[in-house]
Amino acid sequence: MRIAIASGKGGTGKTFVATNLFWLASEMGMECVLADCDAEEPNVAGFLPGDTESVTEVFQQVPVIDPNKCTFCGKCYDYCAYNAILYLPEKRWIQVLPDLCHDCGACSYACEAGAITEKPRLLGKVKRSAYGPRSRLTEGRSEVRVYSAVAVIKKAIHEAGNKKVTILDSPPGISCPFIATVDKADYVVLVSEPTPFGLHDLKLSVSTVQQIGKPFGVVINKAGPGNREMYEWLKEYDIPLLMEIPFDREIARIYSDGGLLSREHTSYREMFRRLLKQILHFQSV
Amino acid sequence: MKVAITSTGKELTSAPDRRFGRCKYFVIYDTERESVEFIENPKRDYNEGAGPASVQLVVSKGVEQIITGDPGGKAASIIDQLPVRLVRLEDGYRNIGEVIQFLKKNI
């Protein structure tokens, strides 16, 4: 079962929840895997150092237009749905914009002059590591200056496979990287915090997840300060509140040391165990 | 010379638009003929690449100078490579008419 741990707002505790759930499932002897899909700044390895097994490079094919062969017919430009070709026939200027290219191949297909070839461009890397005898970690890491991390995220999820407990630590926001992660999930856990900012972004992520059509529930982290608005909103829309994690200095201390709360505190371990049980139960009903 | 100015509307009284790729209108002002043309920006709702597509739109109209607030990185780097001058719109111009008046005085 693939469980995406996501949020709209950054810094709400996605990695915190993801690493604790993974550690717990692993500890309970379940076959599990955790994919760090926050490819622009992966940090799961800071909490769960695995033994590296393999590193795979992810490439994109980028078209290259030979200006000597190009007849400036404009067909590649017409075919491109992503504005990735700049075409100025009066100036005899044609240029590929690699950041906008989605590697669809339409321009190569369109070109009748044989002016378009493709060259690979490194987008990022996916690392696979072992964590104990039965558990695995995968990590997507985007190259600096690469515009979209989506291809690397998809590869990290693919490499993770689908075990009994497959946790996808999602990137923040609700744009393409988030969607690429959540789209592969059987269940989505949205981690938020009970503040006006948290609620604003939670509403956005709930509406996105509903449009994709995934079942989901909410974890409220740093509960205590803030206000009751989020609780009332969840109640009004009948959205399940899966767990509340209190605002606790001790949690922050353990986390900032790269520790795992479930490992160090039995009471919190029990909370995460109940959360895992609720999520897994969801699949069986 | 043709100059493109980004505008929020299609009147000389419209305020300049500080956005480039997602501006509402392009005003194409011809400094020799002193003619003014308003073009609605068809690229402004593109998910991605509105900036580069807008460069293509105005340059294909023969524009050699673009007056706007702050184009994004992709558009700026393309303008840089083309024989097109980018002029940053300073604050203080209330409408397109004032920008054109300035051009008339300074060319």
pLDDT digits (tens, 9 = 90+) for A38-81: 999 999 999 999 999 999 999 999 999 999 999 999 999 999 99
Cβ of residue A145 closer than 8 Å to a chain B Cβ: no
Q: Is residue A8 part of a domain?
A: yes
The answer to whether residues A133 and A15 belong to one domain is yes
Radius of gyration of chain B (CA): 12
The one-character DSSP state at B15 is P
Nearest residue, CB atoms, B48 vs list A82, A86, A95: A82
The answer to whether residues A194 and A96 belong to one domain is no
Does residue B101 sit in helix, strand or coil? helix
pLDDT of A284 > 70? The answer is no
pLDDT at position B39: 94
Question: How far away is chain B from the Cα of A173, in angstroms, using its nearest Cα?
Answer: 16
pLDDT of A200 > 70? The answer is yes
The answer to whether residues A217 and A153 belong to one domain is yes
Q: Is residue A76 part of a domain?
A: yes
A236-268 pLDDT tens trace: 999 999 999 999 999 999 999 999 999 999 999
The mean predicted confidence, pLDDT, of chain A is: 94
Query: Between chains, do A100 and B74 touch, taking CB under 8 Å as contact?
Result: yes
Q: Which of A114, A136, A151 is the endpoint of a domain?
A: A114
Q: Is residue A236 part of a domain?
A: yes
pLDDT at position A166: 97
User: Length of chain A in residues, anyone?
Assistant: 285
Do residues A108 and A129 make contact, with C-beta atoms less than 8 angstroms apart?
Answer: no
Helical H runs in A169-225? 176-182, 196-212
CA distance A197 to A211: 22
Number of domains in chain A: 2
The CB density around residue A184, as the number of other CB atoms within 10 Å, is 20
Question: How far away is chain A from the Cα of B98, in angstroms, using its nearest Cα?
Answer: 31
Do residues A199 and A230 make contact, with C-beta atoms less than 8 angstroms apart?
Answer: yes
The answer to whether residues A110 and A129 belong to one domain is no
The answer to whether residues A43 and A74 belong to one domain is no
Q: Is residue A119 part of a domain?
A: no
Query: Between chains, do A86 and B78 touch, taking CB under 8 Å as contact?
Result: yes
The answer to whether residues A80 and A175 belong to one domain is no
Closest of A36, A38, A61, A40 to residue A50, by C-alpha: A36
Closest of A197, A246, A192 to residue A216, by C-alpha: A192
pLDDT at position B105: 87
The answer to whether residues A229 and A145 belong to one domain is yes
At A268, phi and psi to the nearest 5?
-70, -35
pLDDT at position A227: 87
CA distance A8 to A20: 20
- Cα–chain center distance at A78: 32
User: Which CATH number covers residue A80?
Assistant: 3.30.70.20
pLDDT at position A225: 86
Query: Between chains, do A100 and B48 touch, taking CB under 8 Å as contact?
Result: yes
CATH class of this structure's domain B2-106: alpha beta
| Chain A partners within 8 Å of B48 (Cβ) | 82-83, 100
**What is the phi-psi region of residue A124: left when phi exceeds 0, alpha when psi lies from -120 to 50, beta otherwise?**
left
CA distance B72 to A50: 40
Distances in Å between the Cα of A30 and the Cα atoms of A5, A57, A184, A261, A279 are 18, 29, 21, 19, 14
Q: Which of A79, A96, A114 is the endpoint of a domain?
A: A114
The answer to whether residues A24 and A86 belong to one domain is no
* pTM, full prediction: 0.79
Do residues A198 and A12 make contact, with C-beta atoms less than 8 angstroms apart?
Answer: yes
Query: Between chains, do A97 and B56 touch, taking CB under 8 Å as contact?
Result: no
Class of residue A126 by CB neighbours under 10 A (exposed 0-12, middle 13-18, buried 19+): buried
The answer to whether residues A154 and A276 belong to one domain is yes
Closest of B46, B43, B47, B85 to residue B65, by C-alpha: B85
Q: Is residue A86 part of a domain?
A: yes
Query: Between chains, do A87 and B56 touch, taking CB under 8 Å as contact?
Result: yes
The answer to whether residues A258 and A210 belong to one domain is yes
B8-56 pLDDT tens trace: 999 999 999 999 999 999 999 999 999 999 999 988 888 888 999 999 9
Does residue A226 sit in helix, strand or coil? coil
| ipTM computed for the complex | 0.80
pLDDT at position B44: 86
Do residues A240 and A206 make contact, with C-beta atoms less than 8 angstroms apart?
Answer: no
Closest of B102, B71, B88, B97 to residue B10, by C-alpha: B97
- Residues of B at the A interface (Cβ-Cβ below 8 Å)? 43, 46, 48-50, 52-53, 55-56, 59-60, 62, 74, 78, 81-83
Do residues B29 and B3 make contact, with C-beta atoms less than 8 angstroms apart?
Answer: yes
The answer to whether residues A20 and A141 belong to one domain is yes
- Order of strands across the sheet that contains A51-65: A51-65, A116-131, A135-142, A32-36, A165-169, A2-6, A187-192, A216-223, A241-246
DSSP E strand boundaries for A198-274? 216-223, 241-246
Q: Which domain holds residue A133?
A: 2-58+124-284
A213-226 pLDDT tens trace: 999 999 999 999 87
Confidence of residue A285 (pLDDT cuts 50, 70, 90): low
Question: Between vectors from CA A148 to CA A216 and to CA B48, what angle results, nearest 5°?
Answer: 95
pLDDT at position B107: 66
In chain B, what percentage of residues exceed pLDDT 90? Answer: 79
Nearest residue, CB atoms, B49 vs list A87, A93, A97: A97
The answer to whether residues A94 and A201 belong to one domain is no
Do residues A184 and A159 make contact, with C-beta atoms less than 8 angstroms apart?
Answer: no
Closest of A11, A10, A17 to residue A188, by C-alpha: A17
